[in-house]
Copies of this chain bind each other. A is one copy, B any other.
Amino acid sequence: QKASFSTTLYRNMFTSELSEADVSALRVNGDRLAKDLHHSCQWGFGIRWGDESTDTGMQRLALSAEDKSVRDWFVQTMKDLKCDITVDEMGNIFAVRPGRRKDVPATFIGSHLDTQPTGGRYDGILGVLAGVEALKRMDEMGLETEGGVGVVNWTNEEGARFPVSMISSGVWAECLTLSKAHDLKEVPTVASLPTAASAPETMKSALQDIGYLGKVPCSYKSSPMAAHFELHIEQGPHLISAGQRVGVVTAVQAYRWFRLNVIGRDTHTGTTAFEHRADALYAFARMMVRAREVAAGKGCLASVGIIEAKPGSVNTVPGEVSFSLDIRGPETELVAEVEKELRRDFDEIAAAEGAGIGKPCRVEWKLDFDSPAVKFHDDCIECVQQSAHAVVADAPVADTKSLVRPIMSGAGHDSVFTSKRVPTSMIFVPCKDGLSHHPEEFCSADDCATGASVILQAVVRYDRKRFA
């Protein structure tokens, strides 16, 4: 039995009634997926990088006016598919296509519709749109599930506007507190973008502004799930450079986000000898160089994305610098080691700058976010693996199995937090040059469709497994 777009293939059949071959034959409608995906990207400013109409990036910061528009579209689309809609206190939107059994939670497909300030059309967006397409496909085929199947759009996954990534799945998992999340302020660099208000907003006020501060408590207890599956572009170079089609994500690396302040002394650039300075920006420069050295030495990453120097005048040595630091590594312990070394080295660098005047720089660390390494659930991994092999079986190569590989995620995803409460795993598809958080981020329509077909099958397999 081969894939088909007949609209009545399984009219009134239940997943449990399908043969293994029936499941393996399930495919989404790749053209419709591509059309819906680019349709949904009309809401968001895009930096142009090529000639095609869709060759633009995306700027759709969480809870911006553009985010409101795409949310409204998502809600209406899911209502048209006769889904039940819930919006919780973090603005997470849950859309559920009911199953035969009303007393059990649904299996979810989830990701996010927000983007980076200079992001692309696939990071997060593909994951939500794959869920929309999976439900459209089940609906037109007439396929019924035992438990319900849902699609969830998580709020502010990027952490770009409000600097805690995956914050709303974190509150849902009760790993982060609602009040801290509601009080979180947007970052100053993004606050100055035209899409954001000019004074820093909190998440709560931003949720209110766009009408997505829901009443349902944000918790896995109030919005329960049977499992969470997420399709995402890899955002790294492994699949694309090996010519592979699908990554079965087994784990996510650890990361920690910090905000650091270096306090030195403002002084005149023209009259102050180097040895009389406590130049907070010079200390920062040395710290950033050191951070790469130390992280590289341990197979980890360390990155600075945001920096502010005050007072910000050509001829005043900055007395205050604030910057973000993002440390990542394959093991939680390795990230902790990098942090420990950097705390020691940064103190040393600060102490050296200004020692000549007995007023050395000081450095303060604030932990904004801590995401330990994660291992996904074997049941979910197995569903994804079987589905991946089934979908790539069409490929014109001898060893189609080699097109699928297990992979660890370098980026965080909402699946990190759902995995704390429910069986979870993810699917990666390749993206051009491994590039992400960039307007040119690109995943071919074919690869998008492959990933969406895998998630469709994975959800069906999980539904069968649950009630077997």
A interface with B by C-beta (< 8 Å): 116-118, 158-160, 163, 165, 187, 189-190, 192, 198, 234-237, 253, 255, 257, 265-274, 276, 279, 281-282, 284-286, 288-289, 292, 295-296, 301, 303-307, 309-319, 324, 326, 328, 357, 368, 409-412, 433-439
Contact = CB atoms under 8 A, between A and B. Distances in A.
Nearest to A198: B198
Given A312-B190, A436-B268, A438-B265, A317 B305 contact: yes
Given A305-B313, A314-B159, A270 B289 contact: no
A313 B189 contact: yes
Contacts of A273: 237, 301
Nearest to A238: B271
A59 B419 CA distance: 52
Given A158-B313, A271-B410, A313-B116, A292 B303 contact: no
A437 B116 CA distance: 37
Contact of A289 (B267, B289, B439): B289
Total copies of this chain within the assembly: 2
17 contacts: A118-B319, A160-B316, A189-B309, A189-B312, A198-B198, A266-B438, A269-B305, A269-B437, A271-B409, A282-B304, A305-B313, A305-B318, A306-B314, A307-B307, A314-B324, A315-B326, A317-B437
B189 A437 contact: no
A315 B119 CA distance: 11
Contacts of A409: 271
Contacts of A235: 268, 270-271
Nearest to A59: B311
